Structure 1
Amino acid sequence: MRLTAKSIAVAAALSVALPAGLPAWAQTAAPSSQVQAAAVADLIAGVDIPYETFTLDNGLRVIVHTDRSSPIVATSIWYNVGSKDEPAGRTGFAHLFEHLMFSGSENAPGSYISRLVGMGATDLNGTTWFDRTNYFQTVATPVLEQVLYLESDRMGHLLGALTQEQLDTQRGVVQNEKRQGDNQPYGLVQYARLEALFPEGHPYRHSTIGSMADLDAASMDDVRSWFIENYGPNNAVLVLAGDVDVATARELVERHFGSIPRGPANVPAQAAVPTLDAPVSRVMRDRVANVRIYRSWTGPGLTDADAVPLAVGAAVLGGLASSRLDNALVRGDQTAVSVSSSYQPFQRVGFFDVIVNVKPGEDPDAVAARVDEIMAQFLAEGPTADEVQRVATQQVAQRINGLESIGGFGGRATVLAEGALYADDPEFYKSQLRAYAEVTPDQVREVMNRWLSRPVFSLRVEPGEREAYVEAQAVPSGEQVAAAPADYTPTARPPLPGVGEIPDLDFPDVQRTTLSNGIPVIFSQAASTPTTRVAVEFDAGWAADPADRLGLQALMLEAMSENAGGLDAAELAEARERLGASISADASLDRTFVTLSALTPNLAPSLDLLAKVVREPDFIPSEVERLRAQQLSQIAAELSSPGGLGSRALWPALYGEGSAYGRPTSGLGETDHVQAVTLAEIQSFRDAWIRPDNAKIFVVSDRPLAEVTAALEAEFGDWRAPAAPRGQKAEASAAPAQPRIILIDRPQSPQSLILGGQVLGIDGDDDRLVLDAATEVLGTGFSSRINSDLRETRGWSYGARSSVNGLEGPMPYLINAPVQADRTGDSIASTIAVHQAFLGPQGVTPEELTRIIDAGSRRLAGQFATAQAVLGTLRSNDLYGRSDTYWEEAGARYRGLTAEALDAAARQAYDPSRFVWVVVGDAEVVRPQLEQLGLPVEVRSNR
């Protein structure tokens, strides 16, 4: 699978204005203060997604984008209906129906996700928002007809398959999805914001997830009416993108969709942009770590000419890393730990939001007044030309990077569908890019003043007890009653078409070289857009943190990213933004890495910035103190979230406090450790670990290795190791198994987060393809035993899963199950029972084996279809000691799997009697349930 064809002509011939000789991207960059980036107008000139379109007699619009670079096709079908179109008293129903559309159809009964997973689908999902409902997946070319059969069957042949049982189950799933979101810190803000900004009866006043009461009230009559009124072919756009031409597409679409009758004419709800009569101010309390300040306004919709200037203004104000609010509040006054500003347009309206997280100990009133002062000054002055240019470059870079993918949430199929649905123009993205390239500072200032001079909704969320939570009613499961009228007769169709032969994966060729100072370079020319991705990786990771200085490395990495090469934080951020480059420093448990995503025409100056971050960090004492305060605030935030609390308890319980793996996997560390870190310790840690004799460089680019190597050599070839010895990591040992339940009390939690697991007897260099396949049946896949039990059968969870967490050292098996609070004990008992049955008499079934073989062998092409995926595979292959052909050989290995092999692998690895469980929830509700399970229960307070 060689991703070298340029189906997207994205300015591949652009060059940066640098001296002649080597190609521009291979030359030594000019000093950052003199960087000359490619012009925005030049960058967008070649952005093009070629397509053809046709419309069936029943009104279905079809868009076809052909790209023969990989044997995969993305399908994306968008229905012009969302939560804004819901009738009064039925909020959340569009989203509920999205779930029901996955529950099976007349000629394809059972879970659609299970079927699609078995087809090898990747980028598989369905979503609902205010304006639309969409379903999408990417499959190998020979599977395309099966996918079209399924999509057409649920469009035209759904009613006869829907049952009351399905409605009740999916209602429970959606209500647990709502609990899961509401249970997060600040999780109730969205409801207060919508209710304040919109008057009663406005289509955008309610959230897409809806209210518990309205979800309770959804009936089978609602299901029937909603389907008939909204899901006709004349209310949909179907996009096929990838290895398909328009002639083939027309034949297949006509065959499977052509007989579906046209539905009622659908006109999406109209909605004016409301203006508040006067400013509205509200204070909420939540179990959060710091005060958060919001400023919100409504604005125009996606196709309005003011949408882009508002987005530019929002980015300058608080979206860029060098934004006005960042420079004033985070770096300047240091009264906030983070800020953001954004403009999010929908079909009819948009939302302009400013969010400021107040630094603990600061006066929220003073910070709020300062926010208003900065905004007033910005509205008076407007942005500079340089700020506007930086926003435009960032937006174009994001679009170009996104267009590498043909499907998923942001790929080419989505871009074409969104334009067709909202603007009646699949090429609407070009209009947006031109607007970014042409917008002026005066336009931004004028538009910002026009919309933000209106009354504002101000919200402050303070630490404290939450308001009472509105729970769902207990809905009894009904009998299996068909949703269709008594005289409804399902329409017979031909059976599901077969699948042709799918060739084995041809992974992009991997090449290797070495810089003059000995740094290995692992490379693949596998980008289908003019982009280059680089990862400079060090054998360190969070496991390298000293046991009494957990969080030291995270502080060091933040400092490296903020000040380097004599550039302060604002200057470094501005330089990245001018180039459309993204640079970040982070770590996993095993590796530390600094990554770059760059537009290849701007590669030389982008690599220069990367080298400054890696080689020339400026550990300025005042900046380190600022970043220390931010990290302490992040730790406090982690200790207020279910996931953060659970992870911090589970890993030390599994590995032991003294193990290199027995520490918070976020890397943020412990409060007292971070407070004690000295500047000398940061520098010493860097000398021990961030050095050329501990480094490897991974690259995926649209340019050949020789050119990329020349550019890397110019920036890293003369880097020499310090005199200090290289660091040595502590042993990543596992603690003796102590089966028990650790209950972390988090009052007022409508949902409990269940985590569990054990440390396995395998390391990173052990091949685990067979074990992973068995675990996919047990817990990793959507149709796994665990998820099917807790979500699809019982409706107690939005989603439950388990997996082997890949590490270089001893790997853990981890279970993750957010469940409704009143079913916490039952859920653990049921999950244990599922494991016992799977590891005992009820091993892998023939149907499960077929699904795993088909899924594993058919999805390979889609798994590695982007440069980012290729880069990740280069890095993981190196970490686990895999050959370059590991995934090319995987197809044959999947086809050779047997149920006996999967059962043996699982039974050898897993032992539920050794599991450690962590539950984050309301102890008053949960503890009595847990005490019935026969395991020791240790209760901890929420720190």
Structure 2
Amino acid sequence: MSPRLLAAALPLLATLGCAEMTAMTMSDKPLAKPIAYRVAYQPYPSGMRLVVHEDAQAPRVTMNVSYRVGATDEPSGKEGLAHLAEHLTFLARHGGAQSPRVWSRLLASGAQFNAFTTHDSTDYWFTAPPEQFARLAALEAQRMREPLAGLTEEDFRVERDVVVAELRERQETSPEGAQYAWALTELLPGHPYGRTVGGTPESVLRLTLEDVRAFVKQHYTPAHAVVVVSGPLSSADVKYEVADRFSSLTGNGATAQTPPVQRTPPPMPGELKLPGNQRMLVKRGPVEHPRLWMMWPMPGLHSGQIPQLHATASLMRASLSSYLAQEDGVVRFAVFPQVMDGMALLVAMVELTKQEDAQRVAERILDGRSSGNGRTWSLPSARNALFTEAFLELEQLPTSDMARYLRATGQPDYVGGWQQQLNLGLAESSFSKYLWDHFQRERVRMMLVVPEAPGAGRTVVGQGFSRLPGAEDFGRWDVPLPEGTHDVRRVARPPGLGEAGVFSLSNGLEVVVLRRGSMPMVEAHLVLHLPGLHTPLLPEVALHASWASMDSSHLHAAKVGARTYRNVLDHQARVSATAASGNLPQVLDDLRQWLRDSDVDAQVWWRSQEGYLRGLERASQRTDQRARRVLEAKLFSGHPYGNAPTVEQARALTPEQLSQWIDTELRPGNMTLYLVGDLPPAAEAQSLAESILGGWRGGKGVSKAAPPREPPLPTARSVVLMDRPGASQADMRIGLRWPLLDAGQVATADVLTELLQERLRHQLRERLGLTYGIQAQRDERPLATALRLHTAVDAKTAAGALEQLLAELGSLEDTPLPASVVERARWQVARDYDLRFRTNASVATHLMDLTRMGRSLSYWEKYPEHLAAVTPASLQALVQQLSLGREVVVITGDAASLRPQLEAAGFQVEVLAPAASVARAP
């Protein structure tokens, strides 16, 4: 089947000429250019199907192989089988016991890759330079032919422990995910979607290698597979490579055809009857505060009504925001949709201060689930916002969604199909019927999770800790690097940020403009530079109060589907918007309206102050936030970087102080406007910005900011234990400081974090099965740089794991690594370098950070040269500059069991009690 040329306007509106626009004539509708794209569809006799989406401007090619098998296909009693099978396929060795594993071959290829399992499907994807496509397509074909080739019982045991550790980490460090799984099980009893994806630690431990072999033999077949390829390759080239690499898997030349695996999705669930006619199920769990879960079953993907689901989520989010933010009994809340093939769920999660408030808050939500929002929500605004989100998704084409769409509709055109569903499903009449049919109060299912009693432990699964000697695991890859990639400059390509244009408006406002990307979207960020040193409290509160005080009746953002937000970092305050590129004038006009009406209204501040204070107080009670704040307070002791804002400080701020700060800092010469995306030519963009923003003059105050100073380095090791009684895992954060790094050292630090993450992941996850993973990252600020490590381990192994982490850093300080190991690490950093700049939003962020860090626009263009210059000696020299022996360690876990083992290992421990006592279930 030949490719089709399809033009989709999202939405179908012509772009207006910017030069002719004024604030008086601006249209309050989304304006975007049509998207021209080519899509090809190829079914094969084997039942396998191929969808190709051509994007000539994409720097990489993405392939997604989606199998129609998920958690709903697992035999009873073998929950978690699909997810475990997904993990194990990466350990396959095609070609014999001495052949490299799939995981190693993917690492060496330069591809970014991963996999995930849902209720309905299992997806494997990679994204890589186009020249790697043929080799990687062959690798996915081998996975389909022999998913578990060469897998041993030992491989199976270790990876099964990894999966168990992943499940426990989700339960204790990401409790929302575990509770959502409980809600599915308890509120959808006996339904196929009522089982958890991944199973439970107990169900996974019951699985055998033979269970997995039987499962993949049945489900990892061509007839179960949809292959989606997106990128700059032509559909003809992709079809040729797929036919060649998958060969017999396509069934070409076969006398009989096998139809694709189809199924009737599981039906909507029946009425739920809780014991004793309860309205709300109550369970104990590892939570700090009671959590109320409310779920509405909705039509699933195969119904074609997913736009209505997203609009309903937007409606409910707006409704809850209008009254729960002022509710003293609510810590925080979230609303999100979850889409499966046969059913979807609209989910609201509300964290409460007291269990006794649950029923009252639930009734308030049910009474006002779609009311109280007239001022902030409308169906046209929601529809326009969904169109904007569609653009942003297409910037990173969702290949897995394309596969699901093909299965649900039989049509390969995901882009045009989603647009059509948006237009038809969000008409006023059809949306009203959807709400009436599916969003009634009697359809809700509710579960309350209350904190466990102190000391309530759970079964701990995992092998004992043992020291792993030697540095050989750094070079454990069993496959050579691709030919020609030893020079990382051929892989890490300059991203083009140096091509940005810079000009100033007549009032002195600096403008940075970069035209890029294939999507008709634009990013606009107005940045206020904060040269002084202070906590982000005053800028954050002043910005919040100033924006809230503005007369918003003439703002365009909600009407045109633009996404606006504000945030404050060290040294910068940002007001940002994302919109269809045709709406750039409207976005700039909204900024103009704020700048001209930026005074803080005292009444507005007093009305909103309590909500802001509640937000600060709620954040201070969350364990993850407390751990981060404790780490930063120790890492940047006595410096604004380490000073978290307090409720008392915020309460002391007055409208006069906020207005004075706005008048002092909000000046054209103190600000920069960043525009990135589908922009008009430079002269036209400058003319547009001048006509809308050039007349603003700003405040008349004079900044009296304190001069910047570097934060002092830690003087001794700190180990802080944040008590979480009964926890079976220890959540561990480690921070180390560097002096300020130059450009070459930044590249070296990136290589070091790559080495550490790979080495420690291999040791703690693959060889010992103690953790799902470990994160190593460079935390860079204008006046300080830090190295951060974060992992969660079995509590019984916490002291040994901490010793291992610190020992690895010490070994790097003492002995240079082999050149081949450093070369591989450089390659790993290079292989995903261009992905840092994949979207307009990420490019805009990098441009703003260049200014924040005091760097030139050419900084990232030169980075590949610095990366190529990293050597074992420079790596060792950088480790020697770390504050080794003066690390900051923050561990969250059960102090009663953790403190003795940490002190026995020689660590001096400071214990912090839980944030606050909470009501317990009777």
Partner of 1:96: 84
Q: What secondary structure does 1:768 align onto? A: helix
Partner of 1:431: 417
Q: Does 1:77 align with 2:65?
A: yes
Aligned equivalent of 1:398, options 389, 393, 400: 389
Partner of 1:488: none
Encode CA deviations 1:377-405: one digit per residue, 9 max, x unaligned: 69xxx999982211111111100122122
Aligned equivalent of 2:364, options 370, 376, 386: 370
2:19 and 2:687 in contact (8 A); partners too: no
CA distance in 2, matches of 1:359, 1:50: 53
2:290 and 2:351 in contact (8 A); partners too: yes
1:74 and 1:241 in contact (8 A); partners too: yes
2:265 and 2:341 in contact (8 A); partners too: no
Pairing 1:750-899 to 2, within 5 Å after superposition: 750-763=728-741, 766-780=743-757, 784-841=758-815, 843-899=816-872
Q: CA deviation at 1:302?
A: 0.7
Aligned equivalent of 1:241, options 230, 236, 239: 230
1:757 and 1:813 in contact (8 A); partners too: yes
Aligned equivalent of 1:207, options 193, 196, 201: 196
Encode CA deviations 1:907-929: one digit per residue, 9 max, x unaligned: x3235322121111110121122
Partner of 1:491: none
Q: CA deviation at 1:599?
A: 0.9
Partner of 1:528: 518
The 3 A distance-change label for structure 1 pair 334 and 882 is same
Q: What secondary structure does 1:303 align onto? A: helix
The 3 A distance-change label for structure 1 pair 502 and 774 is closer
Q: CA RMSD in A?
A: 3.5
Encode CA deviations 1:317-364: one digit per residue, 9 max, x unaligned: x23xxx233334447x88767555444331111112234456889955
Aligned equivalent of 1:710, options 673, 683, 687: 687
Q: CA deviation at 1:718?
A: 2.5
Pairing 1:20-99 to 2, within 5 Å after superposition: 23-24=17-18, 27-30=21-24, 36-38=27-29, 46-47=34-35, 49-99=37-87
Partner of 1:697: 673
Partner of 1:253: 242
Q: CA deviation at 1:740?
A: 2.6
Encode CA deviations 1:260-312: one digit per residue, 9 max, x unaligned: 48799855584121122447412345676665543312122112144433433
Q: What secondary structure does 1:661 align onto? A: helix
Instruction: Supply the AA of the counterpart residue of 1:829.
Output: E
The 3 A distance-change label for structure 1 pair 10 and 930 is farther
The 3 A distance-change label for structure 1 pair 857 and 545 is closer
Q: CA deviation at 1:638?
A: 3.2
**Aligned residues with identical type, % of pairs:** 23
Q: TM-score scaled by structure 1?
A: 0.85
Partner of 2:210: 221
Encode CA deviations 1:167-204: one digit per residue, 9 max, x unaligned: 2222222222222222245454213321233222x221
2:84 and 2:160 in contact (8 A); partners too: yes
Partner of 2:427: 440
Instruction: Supply the AA of the counterpart residue of 1:714.
Output: S
Q: Does 1:673 align with 2:673?
A: no
1:778 and 1:838 in contact (8 A); partners too: no
Q: Does 1:596 align with 2:591?
A: no
Instruction: Supply the AA of the counterpart residue of 1:346.
Output: M
Which range moved further: 105-114 or 864-873? 105-114
Partner of 1:458: 446
Q: What secondary structure does 2:301 align onto? A: coil
Partner of 2:313: 314
2:289 and 2:352 in contact (8 A); partners too: yes
Partner of 2:470: none
CA distance in 2, matches of 1:110, 1:633: 54
Q: CA deviation at 1:140?
A: 1.2
Aligned equivalent of 2:148, options 134, 146, 159: 159
The 3 A distance-change label for structure 1 pair 604 and 359 is farther
The 3 A distance-change label for structure 1 pair 305 and 272 is same
CA distance in 2, matches of 1:290, 1:495: 51
Instruction: Supply the AA of the counterpart residue of 2:733.
Output: L
Encode CA deviations 1:606-656: one digit per residue, 9 max, x unaligned: 222233345534634454345433344333443444421211111111221
Aligned equivalent of 2:696, options 719, 731, 736: 719
Instruction: Supply the AA of the counterpart residue of 1:350.
Output: A
Unmatched segments (≥5 aa) in structure 1: 1-5, 18-22, 406-410, 478-493
CA distance in 2, matches of 1:889, 1:516: 32
Aligned equivalent of 1:168, options 157, 163, 172: 157
The 3 A distance-change label for structure 1 pair 8 and 844 is farther
1:197 and 1:276 in contact (8 A); partners too: no
Partner of 1:486: none
Pairing 1:456-495 to 2, within 5 Å after superposition: 456-461=444-449, 465=453, 468=456, 470-474=458-462
Q: CA deviation at 1:419?
A: 1.6
Q: Does 1:351 align with 2:345?
A: yes
CA distance in 2, matches of 1:798, 1:385: 41
1:173 and 1:791 in contact (8 A); partners too: yes
Partner of 2:542: 556
The 3 A distance-change label for structure 1 pair 7 and 450 is closer
Q: How many residues align?
A: 876
Instruction: Supply the AA of the counterpart residue of 1:370.
Output: R
Partner of 2:266: 271
Q: CA deviation at 1:7?
A: 10
Unmatched segments (≥5 aa) in structure 2: 252-257, 466-478, 916-922
Partner of 2:919: none
The 3 A distance-change label for structure 1 pair 277 and 121 is closer
Q: What secondary structure does 2:38 align onto? A: coil
Q: Does 1:687 align with 2:667?
A: no
CA distance in 1, matches of 2:650, 2:248: 66
Partner of 1:142: 131
CA distance in 1, matches of 2:896, 2:594: 49
2:733 and 2:890 in contact (8 A); partners too: yes
CA distance in 1, matches of 2:804, 2:900: 17
Instruction: Supply the AA of the counterpart residue of 1:806.
Output: E
2:290 and 2:355 in contact (8 A); partners too: no
Partner of 1:567: 552
Q: CA deviation at 1:744?
A: 1.2
